Structure 1
Amino acid sequence: MHSNLDTRMLAIAQRAAREGIGALSLGEALTAALVLDRNDWLQERGYRIGDALDRIGPDWAARIPAVSRQFEMELARARLRFSFEIVPREAEGEGYLLRLLDHNQEVGCGHFPARGESVRFADNQCAYDEAHAAGMAWLDGKQAAALPALQP
């Protein structure tokens, strides 16, 4: 009985994590807010925790802790899947190489030179900062894209 209910609740939380609660029904929005520990969403809908638990009913309320743990585990898996590393470059002037990784396998890269013919950045720190920002943007995109595919 719990697995179908947990699956439904997890799907609601995943959708809310991606898109927010704007398009969700009141019950779904309250469920997502409770699973994701988003008191701001409860307040947005005019509810406190106790009132939200009453509104979603005892069966759903009883599953909130387990679904919340499942969501966090699946999110952690997605976060561990993708990573990046920034490696100092010695060829073609100083700067950095950004390596994009999926399960520790390189799936892309970027060059961030600080000096040379294709100077893009004022110094090594600027090149590193840009490589880091590009890596974080890629990581955020990959993790967000992986979120809908999470399975309970």
Structure 2
Amino acid sequence: MHSNLDTRLLAIAQRAAREGIGALSLGEALTAALVLDRNDWLHERGYSIADALERIGTDWAARVPAVARQFQTDLAQARLRFSFEIVPRSGDGEGYLLRLLDQGEEVGCGHFPARGKSVRFADDQCAYDEAHAAGLAWLDGKQAQALPALQH
């Protein structure tokens, strides 16, 4: 980050990505629209890109490209931090083991059996599909916690 200004502009963009631009001042809303590449927000406020750049002023306009890059970097890092894997199991109902990962370290797991005494799913494909859906739901939640802008 270049300066306190960048930190402020990044916070504005993150808030807008999370909540929209309704509660932001005009200058903040235009800045967020530029950082997040949201032409629809500019048009909503009646501004073109050129008009928005003029309205937010040269200091803020000069920092928009760097802040946009930082926003995308933060977004990518949050997406890479969390993951999951689905491992086939043998014995004990077979099916699949869902491993939840934070920076490659297991932080939770779930068993999705397809056979046995406690059959939860009709077949292996159903067990896999459920494990995959559970992994995606966990991933969405963890990424949103790590970077609220992911909720946008």
TM range (shorter): 0.7 to 0.9
| 12 and 89 in structure 1: CA distance in 2 versus 1, 3 angstrom threshold | same
Q: Alignment identity in percent? A: 85
1:23 positional shift:
2.1
Aligned letter for 1:73?
A: T
Structure 1 spans left out of the alignment, 5+ residues: none
Say whether 1:134 aligns with 2:127.
no
In structure 2, distance between residues paired with 1:93 and 1:113 = 5
Q: Tell me the C-alpha RMSD between the 2 structures.
A: 1.6
Q: What is aligned with 2:79?
A: 79
TM-score (norm 1): 0.88
Q: What is aligned with 1:15?
A: 15
1:103 positional shift:
1.2
In structure 2, distance between residues paired with 1:33 and 1:78 = 21
Aligned letter for 2:99?
A: R
Q: Secondary structure, in 3 states, of the residue corresponding to 1:90? A: coil
Matching of residues 1-152 of structure 1 within 5 Å: 2-147=2-147
In structure 1, distance between residues paired with 2:123 and 2:44 = 45
Q: What does the per-residue CA deviation read over 1:39-91, in whole Å, with 9 as the maximum and x for residues that have no partner?
A: 22222323222222122111111111100111111121111211111111112
- Alpha-carbon contact 1:18-1:144 (below 8 Å) kept: no
In structure 2, distance between residues paired with 1:142 and 1:100 = 10
Aligned residues: 147
